[in-house]
């Protein structure tokens, strides 16, 4: 945690706990069906936006055509493809590339709904989490609707539960920026999609590497795109199976969502990611502890204050909730903040490769401008901006001697468990007693609410 961020969070916490409206629309509306709660934000926004760009792509889609009702563009081939059995060269010691054609979608959960927890796979992962010795804090799942719809949790959001979506509370283990000034940990979420090849072609042509937070439901739909991302040296990371708001799920559902997305990625590329991004940034100390027990380190995005989050809002172009010029104004503000002498570190911002509009604005405008920015940005995957080798992005290739995984075979399980997720230290809710604490379950919450959460969560992948 950086002092500058800490001091601004103190102010935000007060606002967050008492604000009656969504803090910022999509986080505040996590779990609600698309379009139900973003109207207030749209009504409050001005109608014209200004921006300036140092460079644009000569082949960019015109800004006026980056609209929700734009006709679907033709899709293009991947910049490269790799035969099954090829040995990866971007990482060392990796197994040969699996044969994606052999993967049967029927062997995986249904697409875009929260995974069932009764399967042998999920039951095994639940047991693994218990065996990890990580204490899961006793926090009931949130209702959908984020901060405004969860007053008890909101009042505690900057304290024991450290709920990022609500107040921006950051735990020591969260990655929210890059240590070195002017360094940009480039990330794209929610793919792979039909338009990801266009992004990969632009990145390859400009010798850029990114982190891709892949949704399991998309990975099983487009496995060869994920293989190209991996083989070209991009970082692959987890973004759940069905894109729910994780704080609204039971412990068992969270384990299932993370477990299946880890598994499908390993089945497609041969190795398991060590990093994940919670959809909507929706994480608290309960989610952090489960992720830690599953060897996943959270990556969110930079948030200086409630107003200055490093989110271009590119996701909302597809639905028409925002416009291309608004997104570019957001981008200019991010550049301004990232360059400002008040901001000591590098940064991570939120962008997406699920829809053509988000890819069009990235390849046509944001990335060309970023490449021409003075002073120059250093643009690289999150793992690289952390000054770690790409190998450390994968469990099987991680250098355990210099970078011990959250849970390793050598984890010492100590006798007394005092940690139940104290403020700002979700990751330290760690090595508790194996026997004294039940690590799975949601005490105090009946099956009726759990069922409601399951039913509501299926629509959320459309939101962010």
Ligand X SMILES: *[C@@H]1O[C@H](CO)[C@@H](O)[C@H](O)[C@H]1NC(C)=O
Instruction: Give catalytic residues, as residue numbers.
Output: 189, 352
Segment interacting with ligand X, rule: CB under 6 A, options 138-146, 220-228, 377-385, 438-446: 138-146
Nearer to ligand X, 45 or 75 (CB): 45
Least Å from the CB of residue 130 to Zn ion: 28
Would you call 310 exposed, middle or buried from its count of C-beta atoms within 10 A (0-12, 13-18, 19+)? buried
DSSP for 387-420 reads: T--GGGGBTTT--TTTS--SS-TT----S----S
* Gap between the Cα atoms of 19 and 15, Å rounded: 6
- The piece of 108-116, 235-243, 375-383, 396-404 that touches ligand X (CB under 6 A) is 396-404
Among Zn ion, ligand X, none, what does residue 396 contact (CB within 5–8 Å per kind)? ligand X
Does residue 279 touch Zn ion according to CB under 5 A?
Answer: yes
**Residue 145 binds ligand X (CB under 6 A):** yes
Question: In this complex, which beta carbon is closest to ligand X, that of residue 204 or of residue 449?
Answer: 449
Q: How far is the CB of 81 from ligand X (least distance, A)?
A: 27
> Dihedrals φ, ψ of 101, to 5°?
-65, -20
Q: How far is CA 129 from CA 191, 431, 439, in A?
A: 27, 12, 7
Count other Cβ atoms within 10 Å, centred on residue 83: 9
3-state secondary structure of 262: helix
Segment interacting with Zn ion (CB under 5 A) among 33-41, 79-87, 178-186, 187-195 = 187-195
Q: What is the DSSP string of 56-105?
A: --TTPPPGGG-STTPPPPPP---S----TTPPPSSSSSPPPPP-GGG--G
Indicate the angle between helix axes 120-132 and 251-269, nearest 10 degrees: 110
**112 torsion bin: left (phi>0), alpha (psi -120 to 50), beta (else):** left
CB nearer to ligand X: pick between 77 and 448 = 448
CA–CA separation, 127 and 116 (whole Å): 16
228 interface partner picked from ligand X, Zn ion, none, CB below 5 to 8 A per type: none
The residue at minimum Cβ distance from ligand X is 336
Q: Does 149 bind ligand X (CB under 6 A)?
A: yes
Binding mask of the shown chain, residues 324 to 343, with x at each position contacting ligand X by CB under 6 A: ---------x--xx--x---
C-alpha pair distances (Å), 270 with each of 225, 239, 297: 14, 17, 19
155, 308, 437, 450: which one contacts ligand X (CB under 6 A)?
A: 308
Q: Among the candidate windows 4-12, 176-184, 186-194, 281-289, which touches Zn ion by CB under 5 A?
A: 186-194
Cα–Cα distances in Å, from 61 out to 64, 344, 357?
A: 8, 35, 9
32 lines the binding site for ligand X (CB under 6 A): yes
Nearest to Zn ion of 277, 326 (CB atom): 277
Q: How far is the CB of 192 from ligand X (least distance, A)?
A: 25
> Strands, E, within 205-254: which ranges?
211-214, 235-238
Site for ligand X (CB under 6 A): which residue of 11, 45, 131, 408? 408
Nearest to ligand X of 127, 340 (CB atom): 340
166 lies in the binding site for ligand X (CB under 6 A):
no
* Binding status of residue 158 toward Zn ion by CB under 5 A: no
Nearest residue (beta carbon) to Zn ion: 189
| Contact indicator for 247, 73 with CB cutoff of 8 Å | no
Q: Which of 112, 174, 177, 190 binds Zn ion (CB under 5 A)?
A: 190
Shortest reach from residue 14's CB to Zn ion, in Å: 28
Q: Measured from the CB of residue 418, what is the shortest distance to ligand X in angstroms?
A: 26
Q: Binding residues for ligand X, how many (CB under 6 A)?
A: 21
Of 313, 302, 332, give the one whose Cα is nearest residue 38.
313
Candidates 296, 249, 251, 246; CA nearest to 135 is 251
Q: How far is the CB of 350 from Zn ion (least distance, A)?
A: 8
Q: Any bridge partners for residue 350, and if so which?
A: 311
301-340 binders of Zn ion (CB under 5 A): none
Burial of 224: CB neighbours in 10 Å, binned 0-12, 13-18, 19+ = middle
**Partner that binds at residue 143, options ligand X, Zn ion, none, CB closer than 5 to 8 Å by kind:** ligand X
Candidate residues 11, 89, 127, 400; the one interacting with ligand X per rule CB under 6 A: 400
By CB under 6 A, tell whether 144 contacts ligand X: yes
Q: Is the peptide bond preceding residue 29 cis, with omega within 30 degrees of 0?
A: no
Please say which residue, 88 or 146, places its beta carbon nearer to Zn ion: 146
Region 421-450 residues binding Zn ion, contact defined as CB under 5 A: none
Per CB under 5 A, residues contacting Zn ion are 189-190, 279, 464
Binding site for ligand X (CB under 6 A): 31-32, 37, 143-145, 149, 307-308, 333, 336-337, 340, 395-400, 405, 408
């Amino acid at each position: 945690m950086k002092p500058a961020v800490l001091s601004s969070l103190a102010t935000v916490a007060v606002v967050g706990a008492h604000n009656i409206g969504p803090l910022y629309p999509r986080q505040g509306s996590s779990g609600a069906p698309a379009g139900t709660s973003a109207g207030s934000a749209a009504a409050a926004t001005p109608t014209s936006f200004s921006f300036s760009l140092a460079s644009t792509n000569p082949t960019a889609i015109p800004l006026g055509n980056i609209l929700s009702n734009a006709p679907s563009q033709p899709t293009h081939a991947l910049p490269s493809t790799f035969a099954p059995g090829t040995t990866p060269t971007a990482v060392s010691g990796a197994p040969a590339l699996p044969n994606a054609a052999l993967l049967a979608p029927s062997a995986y959960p249904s697409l875009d709904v929260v995974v069932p927890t009764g399967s042998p796979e999920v039951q095994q992962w639940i047991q693994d989490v218990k065996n990890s010795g990580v204490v899961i804090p006793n926090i009931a799942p949130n209702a959908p609707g984020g901060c405004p719809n969860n007053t008890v949790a909101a009042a505690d959001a900057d304290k024991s539960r450290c709920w990022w979506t609500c107040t921006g509370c950051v735990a020591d283990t969260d990655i929210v920026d890059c240590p070195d000034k002017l360094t940009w940990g480039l990330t794209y979420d929610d793919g792979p999609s039909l338009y990801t090849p266009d992004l990969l072609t632009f990145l390859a042509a400009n010798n850029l590497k990114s982190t891709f937070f892949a949704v399991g439901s998309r990975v099983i739909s487009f496995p060869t795109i994920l293989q190209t991302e991996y083989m070209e040296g991009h970082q692959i990371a987890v973004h759940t199976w069905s894109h729910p708001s994780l704080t609204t799920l039971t412990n068992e559902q969270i384990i299932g969502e993370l477990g299946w997305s880890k598994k499908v990625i390993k089945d497609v590329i041969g190795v398991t990611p060590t990093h994940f991004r919670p959809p909507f940034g929706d994480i608290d100390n309960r989610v952090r502890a489960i992720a830690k027990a599953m060897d996943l380190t959270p990556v969110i995005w930079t948030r200086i204050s409630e107003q200055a989050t490093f989110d271009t809002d590119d996701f909302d172009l597809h639905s028409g909730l925002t416009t291309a010029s608004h997104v570019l104004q957001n981008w200019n503000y991010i550049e301004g903040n990232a360059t400002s002498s008040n901001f000591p570190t590098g940064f991570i911002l939120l962008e997406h490769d699920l829809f053509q509009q988000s890819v069009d604005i990235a390849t046509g405008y944001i990335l060309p401008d970023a490449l021409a920015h003075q002073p120059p940005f250093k643009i690289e995957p999150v793992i690289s901006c952390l000054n770690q080798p790409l190998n450390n992005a994968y469990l099987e290739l991680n250098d355990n001697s210099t970078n011990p995984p959250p849970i390793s075979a050598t984890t010492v399980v100590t006798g007394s468990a005092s940690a139940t997720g104290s403020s700002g230290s979700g990751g330290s809710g760690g090595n508790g007693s194996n026997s004294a604490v039940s690590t799975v379950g949601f005490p105090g919450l009946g099956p009726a609410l759990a069922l409601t959460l399951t039913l509501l969560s299926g629509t959320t992948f459309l939101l962010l």
